[in-house]
């Protein structure tokens, strides 16, 4: 008899999830799974459960994963010395081979395996497959601390998406498979490029006019100057917070990806902590947002 109240609570939770499931029925949701968020095995298995449940509930999830920490470990293991310019790693020919091996190989197939173990049907791809994502060389700017001027930095074979051919993904989703995408792309010159996973996910979400783009990271979301979570922002709010110094550092490119995706037709983007148990389900299937929601306004 003591189990009955718990059973009733679970049934109530499922009932409350129904309107959220209906809202996302047959909608595309792109989830970027960060390198640091992948570090814990139990959390990774929870993430895989979430993805399978989304697909079984009628959504069309697409996973884009990172892998920066894993790439760094493999470079160290192989004795490949990295060059840094403006604090950013330069991707040369030797490095991009390792990037492709780790991202499109071991990490990609590991995530596919986790999803398969939970009963899902996933397929691992990268931007080069089916000419899915064409990239161009990215030129980054960094502020010189001495002169306070912006300087252009050549990071080698680091790319940014130039075109997304959605036909491959449409075919995969039609076959009721879960695409797991590594952010490696090709250039018009046939060169392989390493693409930032956030940027890659934003390009995919924009090209497919996704209902949601979720950026899983290792922070709760966007924080104010008192380090408290900001639950919701408009695009205009984001620009203002960058201008006044509230949003700084690595959060700026994430916000720029959010703005780009929304400009391309994505309804909303969420930045959330991927280390929270079942963060994806909390965000999509409950009234309790798990991070910062960003809308057009």
Whether the per-residue pLDDT at 288 is higher than 50: the answer is: yes
Domains and CATH numbers, the chain: 25-285 (3.40.1160.10)
At residue 46's C-alpha, the angle toward residues 43 and 48, to 5°, is 115
Whether the per-residue pLDDT at 63 is higher than 50: the answer is: yes
Long-range contacts of 69-72 (CB under 8 A, 24+ apart): 69/35, 69/36, 69/39, 70/35, 70/38, 70/102, 70/106, 70/107, 71/98, 71/99, 71/102, 71/103
Q: Determine the Cα–Cα distance for residues 131 and 134; give it in Å rounded to an integer.
A: 7
- Label the pairing between strands 184-187 and 212-217: unpaired
Q: What tens digit of pLDDT does each residue of 156-182 get?
A: 999 999 999 999 999 999 999 999 999
Whether the per-residue pLDDT at 185 is higher than 50: the answer is: yes
| Consecutive H or E run containing 65 | strand 60-65
Instruction: List the binding residues for substrate.
Output: 67-68, 89, 194
Q: Determine the Cα–Cα distance for residues 135 and 85; give it in Å rounded to an integer.
A: 21
Instruction: List the binding residues.
Output: 67-68, 89, 194
Q: Is 249 left (phi over 0), alpha (psi -120 to 50) or beta?
A: left
- Reported confidence tier of residue 55, pLDDT bands at 50, 70, 90: very high
| Consecutive H or E run containing 160 | strand 150-164
Mean pLDDT of 274-293: 87
Q: What percent of the chain has pLDDT over 90?
A: 66
Average pLDDT value for the chain:
90
Residue 140's nearest CA partner among 94, 85, 97 is 85
SS3 259: helix
Q: What tens digit of pLDDT does each residue of 116-138 get?
A: 999 999 999 999 999 999 999 98
Residue with tokens 């890659």: 200
SS3 58: coil
Query: For the chain, how big is the Rg over CA atoms in Å?
Result: 19
Give me the helices (H) in the chain, please: 4-24, 41-56, 68-78, 93-100, 108-117, 167-174, 197-207, 235-243, 251-263, 279-285
Q: What tens digit of pLDDT does each residue of 2-20 get?
A: 455 577 777 877 788 888 8
């Amino acid at each position: 008899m003591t189990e009955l109240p718990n059973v009733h609570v679970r049934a109530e939770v499922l009932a409350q999830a129904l309107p959220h499931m209906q809202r996302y029925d047959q909608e595309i949701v792109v989830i970027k799974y960060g390198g640091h968020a992948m570090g814990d095995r139990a959390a990774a298995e929870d993430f895989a459960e979430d993805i399978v449940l989304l697909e079984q509930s009628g959504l069309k999830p697409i996973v884009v994963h990172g892998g920066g920490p894993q790439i760094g470990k493999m470079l160290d293991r192989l004795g490949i010395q990295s060059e840094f310019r403006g604090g950013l790693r330069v991707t040369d020919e030797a490095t991009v081979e390792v990037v492709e091996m780790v991202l499109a190989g071991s990490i990609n197939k590991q995530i596919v395996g986790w999803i398969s173990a939970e009963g899902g049907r996933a397929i691992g791809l990268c931007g080069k497959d089916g000419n899915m994502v064409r990239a161009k060389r990215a030129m980054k700017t960094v502020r010189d601390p001495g002169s306070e001027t912006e300087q252009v930095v050549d990071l080698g074979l680091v790319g940014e998406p130039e075109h997304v051919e959605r036909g491959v993904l449409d075919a995969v989703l039609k076959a009721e498979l879960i695409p797991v995408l590594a952010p490696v792309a090709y250039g018009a010159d046939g060169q392989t490029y390493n693409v930032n996973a956030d940027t890659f996910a934003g390009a995919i979400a924009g090209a497919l006019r996704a209902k949601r783009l979720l950026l899983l990271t290792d922070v709760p979301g966007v924080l104010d100057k008192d380090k408290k979570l900001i639950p919701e922002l408009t695009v205009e709010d984001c620009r203002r917070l960058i201008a006044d110094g509230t949003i700084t550092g690595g959060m700026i490119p994430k916000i720029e990806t959010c703005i780009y995706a929304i400009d391309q037709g994505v309804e909303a983007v969420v930045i959330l902590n991927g280390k929270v148990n079942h963060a994806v389900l909390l965000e999509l299937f409950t009234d309790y947002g798990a991070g910062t929601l960003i809308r057009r306004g």
